[in-house]
Chains A and B, each alone.
Chain A
Amino acid sequence: MSTATLDQAPAAEAPIQSFTVTFLIRRFDPDVDTEPRWQDFDVEMYATDRVLDALHKIKWEQDGSLTFRRSCAHGICGSDAMRINGRNRLACKTLIKDLDISKPIYVEAIKGLPLEKDLIVDMEPFFASFREVQPFLVANSTPEPGKERVQSVANRAIFDDTTKCILCAACTSSCPVFWTDGQYFGPAAIVNAHRFIFDSRDDNAQTRLDILNDKEGVWRCRTTFNCTEACPRGIEVTKAIAEVKQAIMRGKP
């Protein structure tokens, strides 16, 4: 079916019907509250709206003090990871039609990072772990001036999956091991180490493997797969972690 005709047009055919959806949002204002509290909002929504639209509607029409991060609104910038109905997701990639709206929709901040306000957490510990794995190319060879380093299609494919990371922290803050004490490097840092460990142009894999052979490194992963399931970019996080573990055992990528 390569030629499109009028009646093949999909999307817009659905009857446009709106629903009242109840959102329960875990609020926290450090200036006033000692403990987070739940607050409910009723919002008129369409099936194709996203949870981010709902948050915007609340902020823009009901309560301007509701605070959350967001930017791109289509799952590419990693600003709005939050716990929606008990699972980490991006608010801008979660459609109302995929949720059960006969019940209230629970929205709360991601877990395991310091809560700052409403849905905002302090991301600094997360980025600190990221920085610690040396997430940048270190190459000893110098390419011909004005020329790219050569890399075969197959070598490029090895680390393709982990280049997709948008550092949203959905994975790390879904990890039960990370929740326990926040010491674990966390899946996102390992994913970004993986991205370079398996890049054929890089010469610093050993250092990164040593870093991740830490007490708080890959060995703390208990393969609970929450990270893989939470990743909005569909990265096979647990698989990447397994590959790093094996590289450490082999002593090379």
Chain B
Amino acid sequence: MTAIEFPGEPRRRGSNLEKWGWIYMRASGVVLLVLIFGHLFMNLMVGDGIQAIDFGFVGGKWADPFWQWWDVLMLWLALIHGANGMRTLVNDYTNPGTVQKVLKGALFAAAAVLIILGTLVVFTFEPCPAGAPADLLPSFCAA
């Protein structure tokens, strides 16, 4: 009867983790603020800033477990935070159905793959790979 249709349909109900998602966004946000600002400061503000970043710089940082953990923590928190935030957008702008499922699946997959990849990279990182030109490596490799 209505010419301009109601965008919605009967409300879906059921148990959900929205509350935890909401809390997580805030908790992770506060921690991320510290982690990301620290990260940006170290990488962009100290010394020559972005110009100083190269393999050697990264290697130098990750030689220290402190920075390893820092970055891994940042990786996990940010990806989950970001992916969960993106899930909110998908919920807002798509209707339940295949498209929505595919998008959410893609978000989940991307976050999972990158978290695993990133974690592996940080912890299995080899600062002084054999055969690499010494001028590209962190200074301590010279030894």
Do A and B share a direct contact in the complex (Cβ within 8 angstroms)? yes
A52 CB to closest chain B CB, in angstroms?
Answer: 23
Q: Which residue of B lies closest to A248 (CB)?
A: B19
- What count of chain A residues pass the 8 Å CB interface test? 29
B111 CB to closest chain A CB, in angstroms?
Answer: 20
Interface presence of B139 (CB below 8 A): no
With A183-B11, A213-B18, A248-B19 already in contact, the answer to whether A122 and B92 are too (CB < 8 A) is no
Interface presence of A115 (CB below 8 A): yes
Taking CB atoms, residues of chain A closer than 8 Å to B22 are 219, 245
Contact indicator B7/A116 (Cβ below 8 Å):
no
Q: Which of A55-63, A73-81, A174-182 binds B?
A: A174-182
Taking CB atoms, residues of chain A closer than 8 Å to B3 are 28, 30, 33-34, 115-116
Taking CB atoms, residues of chain B closer than 8 Å to A183 are 8-9, 11-12
Contact indicator A182/B8 (Cβ below 8 Å):
yes
Contact among B12, B19, B21 for A249, CB-based, below 8 A = B19
Taking CB atoms, residues of chain A closer than 8 Å to B14 are 215
CA A213 – CA B22 in complex, angstroms? Answer: 11
Interface presence of A214 (CB below 8 A): yes
Q: Which 5 A-B pairs have the closest CB atoms?
A: A182-B8, A115-B4, A219-B18, A30-B3, A114-B2
Given known contacts A30-B2, A213-B19, A214-B11, what 8 new A-B pairs fall within 8 Å (CB)? A28-B3, A114-B5, A116-B2, A132-B11, A183-B8, A213-B18, A219-B18, A219-B22
